[in-house]
Amino acid sequence: MSVEDNKTMKRIAIFASGNGSNAENIVHYFSNNKHIEVALIITNNPSAYVLERAKKLGIKSLIFDKSAFSENDKILQKLKENDINWIILAGFLLKIPKNIIKSFSNKIINIHPSLLPKYGGKGMYGDRVHQAVIDAKEQESGITIHYVNDHYDEGKIIFQAKCIVDTNDSPEDLATKIHELEYKYFPKVIEESIS
């Protein structure tokens, strides 16, 4: 790769707390991209399956405990050391500290498995969201991709897509529909936002 090519390369860090199927999908999507690369996977959970995925995919990974996410500069330093330009939250359950939000202003994107502003906020993640949607007898749900600010799930919305909630859907059924939307749209929305 020439120096010129390298200058235009945007380096992503993906933050994920659990399974990491979105993280893997994003890595595959950008694997041959000349301008965007997934350089780092960061987790707060030492037993997260995303670490296995990172290993198989050959992506560098880092684990930080919860305390490192509360305002100290350790993570920020690592992001800088690794020349990270963008942060993607893909199933990441902790709040992003202010120092990172400040340094990556409008460069942090999250995916949430509901049609925000509905069913967002602290403690709303994964199957908890789907259960709440089913309990409320909603006829549709979907995904929201948005910029991250100081408040859980309240940053500017970039993209939403909907799916039908059938009356007999279990949280797992709904999770499957939501994941399909996520795999289809999240990498493309990241690409368009970064370019």
Binding region for ligand GAR (CB under 6 A): 16, 18-22, 90-91, 111-113, 125-126, 129, 178-179, 182
- Give the shortest CB-153-to-ligand GAR separation in angstroms: 7
- Give the shortest CB-114-to-ligand GAR separation in angstroms: 8
- Give the shortest CB-1-to-ligand GAR separation in angstroms: 29
Cβ atoms of 179 and 172 closer than 8 Å: no
Pick 58 or 123: Cβ nearer ligand GAR? 123
Pick 9 or 95: Cβ nearer ligand GAR? 95
Which contiguous run of DSSP H or E holds residue 105? none
Q: Is 179 a catalytic residue?
A: no
Cβ atoms of 115 and 130 closer than 8 Å: no
Return the DSSP state at 16. Answer: -
Cβ atoms of 51 and 9 closer than 8 Å: no
Structure tokens at 169: 């859907």
Pick 34 or 56: Cβ nearer ligand GAR? 56
Q: Which residues contact 112 (CB under 8 A, 6 or more apart)?
A: 120, 124, 129, 143, 144, 145, 146, 153
Pick 10 or 112: Cβ nearer ligand GAR? 112
Q: How far apart are CA 11 and CA 42, in angstroms?
A: 13
- Give the shortest CB-7-to-ligand GAR separation in angstroms: 31
Q: Which residues contact 55 (CB under 8 A, 6 or more apart)?
A: 61
For 41, counting Cβ atoms within 10 Å of its Cβ (0-12 exposed, 13-18 middle, 19+ buried), the class is buried
Q: Which of 112, 130, 146, 179 is catalytic?
A: 112
Active site residues per annotation: 112
